[in-house]
């Protein structure tokens, strides 16, 4: 049994009878891990990924330890507005992933099942609900979530907020892109500002929001440059680090820390040696805990994941002079808020840009958003003669790992890519 599993078992033992001890152990684990990655040089990770690792751990630690200045949200929430208030954003998806990292997700999921929730509900949601049912999280002052992308969000956040007596703000995002839709969301963002002012007792500062959007624009420009270069460069990483890129592109986009990550990423790719192995475009979340997949992709010189499509879901330039309108426009224009053909087109563009040799689409357990249109995606990518692997699995719950099925399928896919060269 690994040290992480042993530590996870101690957390689990206390969850029922002493949730405070479990919470303290989680905070301690986060703290020690952050110190380790920030102060011990890890020769295998590039400087950008070392920075990202410490940044992600630091964000979760800060959010867990300071609930008075934290807000729970979903990955697609308008974090720029909370950031302008100095509020830490901690997403439901991130919390569940970290609990899985501590190997305690099974206990939390079972604790959500006890409430009679459908087992077909996405395991990100069930883990988050279970952690709340077992009281191992201190609720923050408020939650903010959106209706777009994920159909489970509204119900999960309503349920948890009611149970914890926590103020909740829901942003309703229409699916049809129009000026009317943008205005409708912009009006809600105005209300969100009043809600945050009342809840956190802080005054809104538009200038701060403009600075955040300025940094967000810069970050997108740097990432575009990275995408243009990475197709020929060696950028080894890990499944976990690829998941952590979502901290930069979503949860802290517009922050100085996120911008610094993109600066380092571009610098790394500019200095990187030429790469002759196989390049993968990954679509959707990654089962970062899976040992067999780690062996294939982590710091590999043969198979590298150069990009994940979620980092490019909404990267159009933001008009800094109309900050609220820009954030509203971004929410409505998100690629997942449109027809699946748009997502397929984005993946095709990214695959071309990064010179991908193959695409792996991960259909996460219970996620209708990812499974519903996979055939459209496959058809679009095959028009470009790109090999596509449609991989079913669970990015949180190890029990749905499929007893080696993922390993077999990914190994066969990688063999197919390598075989192409030999032919
Ligand atoms: S994986 Fe799908 S269902 Fe689960 S949180 Fe993400 S978008 Fe929602």
User: What does the pLDDT look like over 160-198, one tens digit per residue?
Assistant: 999 999 999 999 999 999 999 999 999 999 999 999 999
At 158, the pLDDT band (50, 70, 90 cuts) reads very high
* 216 C-alpha to ligand 1 centroid (Å): 24
Q: What is the Å distance from ligand 1's center to 181 Cα?
A: 23
Ligand 1: centre distance to CA 109 (Å): 15
What gap in Å lies between CA 30 and CA 8, rounded to an integer? Answer: 12
Closest CA to 150 of 173, 169, 178: 173
Question: What contacts 365, CB < 8 A, 6 or more positions away?
Answer: 122, 123, 392, 393, 394, 395, 396, 397, 400
On the question of pLDDT at 340 being above 80, the answer is: yes
Q: Write down the pTM of the prediction.
A: 0.95
Q: Which atom of ligand 1 is nearest to the CA of 284?
A: 1
Residues 146, 144, 219: CA angle, nearest 5 degrees: 75
pLDDT at residue 373, as a whole number: 83
Q: CA 284 to CA 365: how far, in whole Å?
A: 12
Nearest CA to ligand 1 atom 1: 367
Residue identifier of the C-alpha nearest atom 7 of ligand 1:
150
Report the pocket of ligand 1 as residue ranges, CB < 6 Å. 93, 122, 124, 149-150, 152, 285, 364, 366-367, 369-370
- Atom 3, ligand 1: residue with shortest CA distance: 367
Summary mean pLDDT of the chain = 93
Say which residue the tokens 């719950």 belong to.
397
- pLDDT, position 408: 93
Contact 90, 60 (CB under 8 A): yes
pLDDT value at 303 more than 70: yes
Determine the atom of ligand 1 nearest the C-alpha atom of 336.
7
First to last CA, the chain: 42
Q: Are 177 and 287 in contact (CB under 8 A)?
A: no
Distance between Cα 330 and ligand 1 center (Å): 19
Atom of ligand 1 nearest to the CA of 395: 1
């Amino acid at each position: 049994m690994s040290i992480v599993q042993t530590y996870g078992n101690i957390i689990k033992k206390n969850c029922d009878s002493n949730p405070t001890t479990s919470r303290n152990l989680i905070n301690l684990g986060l703290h020690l891990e952050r110190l380790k990655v920030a102060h011990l040089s890890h020769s295998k990770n590039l400087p950008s990924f070392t920075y990202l690792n410490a940044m992600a751990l630091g964000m979760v630690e800060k959010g867990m330890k300071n609930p008075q200045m934290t807000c729970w949200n979903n990955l697609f929430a308008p974090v720029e507005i909370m950031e302008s208030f100095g509020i830490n954003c901690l997403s439901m998806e991130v919390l569940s992933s970290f609990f899985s990292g501590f190997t305690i997700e099974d206990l939390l999921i079972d604790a959500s099942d006890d409430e009679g929730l459908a087992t077909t509900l996405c395991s990100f949601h069930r883990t988050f609900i279970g952690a709340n049912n077992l009281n191992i999280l201190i609720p923050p002052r408020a939650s903010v979530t959106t209706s777009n992308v994920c159909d489970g969000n509204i119900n999960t956040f309503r349920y948890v907020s009611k149970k914890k007596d926590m103020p909740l703000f829901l942003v309703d995002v229409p699916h049809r892109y129009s000026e009317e839709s943008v205005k409708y969301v912009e009006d809600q963002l105005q209300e969100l500002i009043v809600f945050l002012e009342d809840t956190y007792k802080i005054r809104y500062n538009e200038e701060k929001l403009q600075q955040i959007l300025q940094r967000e624009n810069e970050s997108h420009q740097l990432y575009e440059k990275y995408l243009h270069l990475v197709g020929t460069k060696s950028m080894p990483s890990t499944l976990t680090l690829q998941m952590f890129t979502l901290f930069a592109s979503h949860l802290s986009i517009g922050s100085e820390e996120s911008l610094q990550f993109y600066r380092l990423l571009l610098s790394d790719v500019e200095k990187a040696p030429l790469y002759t192995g196989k390049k993968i475009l990954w679509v959707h979340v990654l089962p970062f805990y899976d040992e067999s997949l780690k062996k294939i992709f982590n710091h590999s010189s043969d198979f590298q994941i150069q990009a994940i499509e979620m980092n490019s879901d909404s990267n159009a330039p933001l008009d800094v002079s109309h900050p609220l309108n820009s954030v509203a426009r971004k929410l409505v224009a998100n690629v997942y808020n449109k027809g699946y053909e748009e997502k397929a087109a984005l993946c095709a563009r990214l695959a071309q840009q990064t010179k991908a040799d193959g695409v792996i689409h991960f259909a996460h357990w219970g996620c209708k958003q990812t499974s519903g249109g996979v055939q459209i995606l496959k058809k679009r990518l095959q028009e470009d003669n790109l090999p596509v692997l449609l991989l079913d699995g669970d990015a949180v719950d190890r029990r749905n790992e499929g007893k080696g099925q993922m390993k077999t399928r990914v190994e066969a896919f990688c063999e197919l890519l390598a075989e192409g060269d030999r032919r």
